[in-house]
Amino acid sequence: MTPPSPLLDRAGIAALIPHQGPMCLLAALLSWDRTRIACRAVPPEAPDHPLRRAGRVSALAGVEYGLQAAALHGALASAAPLAPGFLAALDDVVFHTPALAGEITVTAARLLDDPRGLVYGFTLAAENGAPLVSGRAVIVLPAGLAP
């Protein structure tokens, strides 16, 4: 089965999020709407993967993949450009594997949208659909930091 053509490639994604060079961990935007996004991840086996240690990428890196999908969604779904937000909290993070490998799909869903911040749920899944990492992130927007 041929994978769907991406809506954006890695260069297009990097133009919209603060993560640049090898630290941009999203290879392609597959789909998005007002509340959800799906992306293909840069494979953990990529020669320039910045989070590989001792030949593997820890499942902890899945949180970064999820946050980058949320950042891309924020850039696409907002009426006006958003300043980069700040991770304030993680909740219900579950690691189904100790390390990431192979073809990975990253999805994120906006669960709460407030001028002060956002809450996103995220999931990384293997090519066969098996969950790898999931959780929720609270992102504070710079306007929400004002006294």
CA distance linking residue 147 with residue 132, whole number of Å = 39
Res. 15 pLDDT band, cuts 50 70 90: very high
pTM: 0.91
Mean pLDDT, range 88-107, rounded to an integer? 97
CATH of domain 8-145: 3.10.129.10
Per-residue pLDDT at 83 exceeds 90: no
Res. 38 pLDDT band, cuts 50 70 90: very high
CA distance linking residue 127 with residue 81, whole number of Å = 33
* Residue 30: how many other CB atoms lie within 10 Å: 19
Note the pLDDT tens digit of each residue in 99-140.
999 999 999 999 999 888 999 999 999 999 999 999 999 999
Q: Where are the beta strands (DSSP E) in 42-85?
A: 52-53, 56-58
Instruction: Report pLDDT for 115.
Output: 85
Q: List the chain domain ranges.
A: 8-145
> In a 10 Å sphere around its CB, with 0-12 CB exposed, 13-18 middle and 19+ buried, how is residue 140 labelled?
middle
Token reading at 93 = 């993070």
| Residue 112: alpha-carbon gap to chain centroid | 16
